[in-house]
Amino acid sequence: MLIEMDSELFCARLKEIRKQRKMTQQDIADKTGIPSTSISHIEAGSRKPSLENFFKLAVVLNVSADYLLGRTDQYSDLGTDPVAKSIQGLPDSEREMIEKFILSLQKI
C-alpha cells in the first residue's frame, strides 16, 4: 500500500497555523534556525522540510505533527495538553460554554 502526504494540505496548514500564532516567516526562522527563504519555499510547496526541520516547525508552532500532516483536525495531542484533556472530561453543556468563552477571547 502506497501512502502519500497531501502536500497542499501541509503547506496550507503550516501557513494557517503560523498566521494564527501571529508569527512571520522571519519569526519562525529566528526560533528554528531554518532560513526564512526555506520557510517561504516550504509554505509555497516548492520544497519539503527535512525530518529535523519538520520537527522544529511543529515544536515552535506548538502544533501536533499529525495536524500538519492532515491526519487529524486537532492542533495538539490531547494526551499531552492538560487543558484539552481536562475539558474533554466535562459534560457537553460545560464544554460548549468554554468553547463560547474561548471564541469570545479570540475576537478581542
pLDDT along the chain (108 residues), means of 10: 78 93 94 96 95 93 89 67 68 82 77
pLDDT at 108: 63
**Whether residues 36 and 64 fall in one domain:** yes
CB neighbours (10 Å) of residue 57? 22
- Kindly report the CATH number assigned to the domain that includes residue 27: 1.10.260.40
Cell 464544554 appears where?
95
Domains: count for the chain: 2
Instruction: Please state the pTM of the whole predicted model.
Output: 0.68
**Whether residues 85 and 46 fall in one domain:** no
pLDDT at 88: 65
**Whether residues 20 and 56 fall in one domain:** yes
pLDDT at 55: 93
**Whether residues 90 and 67 fall in one domain:** no
Q: What is the CA radius of gyration of the chain?
A: 16
Domain hosting residue 65, numbered range: 1-76
